[in-house]
Amino acid sequence: MPTLFHPYRLGDLALPNRVVMAPMTRVRAAAGGLATPSMAAYYAQRASAGLIVSEGVQPSLIGQSNPGTPGLHTDDQVAAWRPVTDAVHTNGGRIFAQIMHGGRVSHPDTTGMRPVGPSAVSAVGEVFTPTGPQPAPAPRALDTDEVPEHALAYAAAARRAVDAGFDGVELHGANGYLISQFLSSNANLRTDRYGGSIANRIRFAVEAASATVDAVGAARTGIRLSPGGGFWGVEEDDTPELYAALLAELARLQPAYIHLEATADEEVLVGLRRAWPGTFVVNPSVPMGPKQTGRAEADRWLDLGADLISFGRAFIANPDLVERLRTGVPLAPVDEDTFYQGGDRGYLTYPAYQYTA
């Protein structure tokens, strides 16, 4: 039985272990959505992960969800990412970019544009804006002939990601953002080929994944999903059937992996594991849930058939997480106050474990 510390072949990449750094937005990009030297240091500190998945990166200005997040839609952004990917590679790591289109989870004060979504249904809750949280605005429903350009935006960003030195991309199909909005039965009220039936609601996800595979190759394309997750008010009436259909279509594309959050009943997730012929990455907890992923949850999911395990919060506070898990030394606690603010504090200031003689 493989453990977290056995190597794993992921597409063309040889991962030295099965510990993945989960994507985490840290809103520390410079104006213009540019990556910074601090971001290079942050990811380089965590390069002992088998694979790093970056924070969510917008594929277009209108796809930007939060202020202060980086992009992959301008040449300057590509150039700014290059030192980040170089730093990770120099330190022996591998990094995918998470391509995140926020859809309706956005605000005109952030992008200068009215957000778009499958339907004119607002997200539930407040979205982040440059002046603080504000109620989620009603998005503009995309016309049928506009939908493909948003699916293609993921592929264009993937091409730029590879130009910037990323080893691949993960499409953000989870947590109530654009792909997840299309999958939903209450955020997507469309009556055209992108809404209604399961076959129609999965179409956007499949088109985005297919275009990305065409752009950068299947071995460089992963996708993250949160079955039944309910983030920002998205609901799915039919989670098991919806994801069974989605995985069947995605399987034809033979992507590098799917990355599941443990947002559905274990029985549903294990069923999806059995149905998926390729690499299955699991994040064993729920975003912002009370209990962060640790060794016990990871081992349990390896037993249940996961190939790779992603850790979020534990990686923020423990740049040497792989070594700490391997040796069993305590994990440092995370400071939630610096998740989305603080500059280098709470970002570059977590030390590796201090061994004493």
Ligand X SMILES: Cc1cc2nc3c(=O)[nH]c(=O)nc-3n(C[C@H](O)[C@H](O)[C@H](O)COP(=O)(O)O)c2cc1C
Which residues carry out catalysis? 177
| CB 25, min distance to ligand X, A | 4
Separation between Cα atoms, residue 122 and residue 187, nearest integer Å: 8
- Interaction mask 82-111, ligand X, x per CB under 6 A: ----------------x-x-----------
Q: Does 17 engage in binding with ligand X (CB under 6 A)?
A: no
Q: Beta strands of 4-150 (E only): which ranges?
A: 8-10, 13-15, 19-21, 51-57, 95-99, 116-117, 126-127, 134-135, 140-141
- Interaction mask 276-315, ligand X, x per CB under 6 A: -------x-x-x----xx-----------------xxxx-
Which tokens hold the place of 113? 């544009």
Task: Tell me the Cα Rg of the chain.
Answer: 19
Which of 60, 122, 175, 180 lies at the binding interface for ligand X (CB under 6 A)? 175
- Interaction mask 249-268, ligand X, x per CB under 6 A: ------------x-------
| CB 287, min distance to ligand X, A | 4
| CB 173, min distance to ligand X, A | 9
Separation between Cα atoms, residue 313 and residue 259, nearest integer Å: 17
Residue with the two structure tokens 């730029």:
160
Q: What is the dihedral of CA 264, 270, 273, 279, to 10 degrees?
A: 80
Q: Could you give the C-alpha distances from 176 to 85, 141, 223, 237, in angstroms and in order? A: 28, 16, 14, 15
Q: Which of the stretches 105-113, 122-130, 172-180, 250-258 binds ligand X when contact is defined by CB under 6 A?
A: 172-180
Backbone angles phi and psi of 63, in degrees to 5 = -85, 0
Separation between Cα atoms, residue 121 and residue 119, nearest integer Å: 5
Residue number, 271 or 294, with CB nearest to ligand X? 294
- Interaction mask 195-214, ligand X, x per CB under 6 A: --------------------
Residue nearest to ligand X (CB): 312
Per CB under 6 A, residues contacting ligand X are 22-25, 55-56, 98, 100, 172, 174-175, 224, 261, 283, 285, 287, 292-293, 311-314, 339
